[in-house]
Amino acid sequence: MTAVAPLRWGVIAPTAAIARLAVLPALAASPSAAVVAVGSRSADAPAGRAQAGVGPEVRWYRSYEAVLADDEVEAVYVPLPNSLHRPWVEAALGAGKHVLCEKPLALTASDAAAMAAAAEAAGRVLLEAYMTPHHPRSQAIAAASREVGPARFARTAFTGRMDRPGNHRWDPAMGGGALADLGIYCLAPVLSFAGGEPEWVAAREVPGTDPAAGRDPHAVAVDVSFAGLLGFAGGLLASFECSFDAAERQVLELVGADAAVSCERAHTPGPEDTSYRWRHSDGRVEERQGGGGELYRLMVEQFAEVVAGREEPLHPLADTLAVARTLDRSREAAADGSGLSRATP
């Protein structure tokens, strides 16, 4: 059997928390990946390498442009604040690179559609780094949810305390807010369960400002908590909650006329999160096994397979766009005094 050459990665902002803590370790652990270059605006090589766990074999640049200009780089991972996703994704595609970009891919559905069109025009793979569907238990739950009978209810939540004063998540200009940060985790499994986008969306938000701003009267608020209700054809009703200011909860419950599935730590499952609950129509609850795995590693390995044309993406751009449109409609509903968005776009 011929050995397959690893995909050669460039990482812009290896200093990002998600890069340091999850994706760089996943790339290092994957035989299908080789990180060849990284670029940071702020960190010099010795300190930056130590901070990001990047060895001397990886070229360390002091700009993102230099990573994109590196001919050896085939694919770029983008873990920037949300408002910087579109310009840097388009720059990377323009430089002929495949791109794995952090969630949310874009601030709006129209930005996401423009980025998808840029990838199509460049003939390069662009995917959103939404890792949850790569976990074997998530796939088992998705399969089980197709056996619960006609879809009736879905209940999802991703809440927790965001204790990072001064972080881009508190800045509306950088695409901050709880819905932008956490909404995909709640909406993607619901749209998958529903098999499409909602007919109507109702939503409310609670504004809040960066704790670092103290009592600054000019501090601009983001949605610190956000809740919505979605109505789908066929009668499915789905509620979701996102928050930076509530106890940690990762809820997923998909309810059909005949059975229901649910689990703990639904959105960031670890290798040990293998089981989920199957609730029978008479209320009896059974614990079922769905399997475990390293979800960031599974995600980067699947990206390499998609680039090689050997696999279809588990989270394709069509799903990214459907979630982005539902996020737009949720924001629109919360901004409208009635709390309701327009009907299906």
Ligand X SMILES: NC(=O)c1ccc[n+]([C@@H]2O[C@H](COP(=O)([O-])OP(=O)(O)OC[C@H]3O[C@@H](n4cnc5c(N)ncnc54)[C@H](OP(=O)(O)O)[C@@H]3O)[C@@H](O)[C@H]2O)c1
Q: Which residue has the tokens 């085939």?
A: 74
Q: What is the DSSP string of 184-198?
A: HHHHHHHHHHHTS--
Q: Looking at 70, 74, 181, 328, which residue binds ligand X (CB under 6 A)? A: 181
H/E element, 35: strand 33-39
Beta carbons of 313 and 321 less than 8 angstroms apart? no
Whole-number Å distance between alpha carbons of 33 and 9: 7
Does the protein bind ligand X through residue 40 (CB under 6 A)? yes
Q: If binding means CB under 6 A, how many residues of this protein chain bind ligand X?
A: 21
**What would you report as the CA-atom Rg of the chain, rounded to the nearest whole angstrom?**
20
- Segment interacting with ligand X (CB under 6 A) among 10-18, 149-157, 253-261, 277-285: 10-18
Count of Cβ atoms closer than 10 Å to residue 258 Cβ: 12
Does the protein bind ligand X through residue 49 (CB under 6 A)? no
Does the protein bind ligand X through residue 17 (CB under 6 A)? yes
Does the protein bind ligand X through residue 223 (CB under 6 A)? no
Does the protein bind ligand X through residue 16 (CB under 6 A)? yes
Q: Looking at 1, 2, 3, 42, which residue binds ligand X (CB under 6 A)? A: 42
Q: Which is nearer to ligand X, 67 or 151 (CB)?
A: 67
Question: Residue 280: what residue type?
Answer: H
Beta carbons of 45 and 17 less than 8 angstroms apart? no
Whole-number Å distance between alpha carbons of 192 and 150: 14
Q: How far is the CB of 25 from ligand X (least distance, A)?
A: 13
Whole-number Å distance between alpha carbons of 170 and 167: 6
Q: Which is nearer to ligand X, 32 or 167 (CB)?
A: 167
Q: Looking at 49, 59, 86, 103, which residue binds ligand X (CB under 6 A)? A: 103
Site map for ligand X, 60-89, x if CB under 6 A? -------------------xxxx-x-----
Catalytic option among 103, 134, 137, 331: 103
Does the protein bind ligand X through residue 273 (CB under 6 A)? no
Does the protein bind ligand X through residue 338 (CB under 6 A)? no
| 103 annotated active-site | yes
Q: Nearest to residue 86, comparing CAs of 107, 58, 100?
A: 107
Residues 108-167 that bind ligand X (CB under 6 A): 129, 131, 167
Beta carbons of 78 and 102 less than 8 angstroms apart? yes
Whole-number Å distance between alpha carbons of 222 and 60: 35
Q: Which residue has the tokens 């599935």?
A: 261
- Segment interacting with ligand X (CB under 6 A) among 2-10, 38-46, 137-145, 302-310: 38-46
Which residues contribute to the site for ligand X (CB under 6 A)? Answer: 13, 15-18, 40-43, 79-82, 84, 102-103, 129, 131, 167-168, 181
**Known catalytic residues?**
103
